[in-house]
Amino acid sequence: MIVAVLTQKGGAGKTTLALHLAGEWARAGASVLLVDADPQASAQDWAEQRARAGRRRLFGMVGLARETLHREVPDLARGITHVVIDGPPRTTALVRSALLAAERVLVPVQPSGFDVWASQAMLDLVAEARVYRPELKAHFVVNRRVVRTRIAREVQRAIASLGVPALEASLAQRVIYAEAAGSGLLAREIDRASPAVREVAALAAEVLRGRP
């Protein structure tokens, strides 16, 4: 499967989600390739940190922040079980290209009405891509949920009004994700007992289950 994690909002959690999904699927034995489509290359920075710390590689990674993504990804995906595209902020042309390459799109969003509304531009691009690829599936993924709270009703309403469903699984706001970003590790490698481990596993499983 080819999954793109996209939203033009910076800091929404694209790289965090992309790395943890790739790590989770690789751990389960799948061959996984992460395509870093962000010119800022944060996923590749993470991999470099990881190599420096002498940690073993969990999945392949390639930097491909080019508008020809959709033409190159099918070749790269040959023989690979799951490709995860970590999207760029802003750069609309790159996002468009990633949308043409992907079978599924995950749009990370923070649980505030404001953030949900800010995703409208992204959803417009999804609608545009569906003209060519009607089978393209898109879901919101709530990131940075406040621990031990439910998603506020107003946020659920905002999501529902945009016509793209949210996955049931979400990631909470946890220091461990920030630590993971800076250290070349995944949350589970920092602390196997962290609740982050379970939420990442639930998210990775739900994406593969492919809810309609």
* Interaction site with ligand ADP (CB under 6 A): 10-16, 42, 143-144, 171, 173-174, 177-178, 181
As a residue count, the chain comes to 212
Q: Toward Mg ion, which CB reaches closer, 14 or 145? A: 14
Burial (CB < 10 A; 0-12, 13-18, 19+), residue 66, is middle
**Shortest Cβ 130–ligand ADP spacing (Å):** 23
Of the candidate residues 8, 15, 143, 170, the single one contacting Mg ion (CB under 5 A): 15
Nearest to 140 by CA among 157, 129, 33: 157
> Residue 13: which of ligand ADP, Mg ion, none does it interact with, CB under 5 to 8 A by kind?
ligand ADP
- Please give the Cα distance from 194 to 21 (Å, whole number): 16
CB half-sphere exposure, 170, CA atoms < 13 A: 23
**Shortest Cβ 106–ligand ADP spacing (Å):** 11
Residue owning tokens 């690789």: 26
Q: Toward ligand ADP, which CB reaches closer, 1 or 190? A: 190
Size of the site for Mg ion (CB under 5 A): 3
Q: Toward ligand ADP, which CB reaches closer, 89 or 133? A: 89
The DSSP code sequence of 85-152 is EEPPSS-HHHHHHHHHH-SEEEEEE-SSHHHHHHTHHHHHHHHHHHHH-TT-EEEEEEEEEPTT-PPP
Under rule CB under 5 A, residue 14 binds Mg ion: yes
> Residue 173: which of ligand ADP, Mg ion, none does it interact with, CB under 5 to 8 A by kind?
ligand ADP
Which positions from 26 to 45 touch Mg ion by CB under 5 A, shown as an x/- string? ----------------x---
> Residue 82: which of Mg ion, ligand ADP, none does it interact with, CB under 5 to 8 A by kind?
none
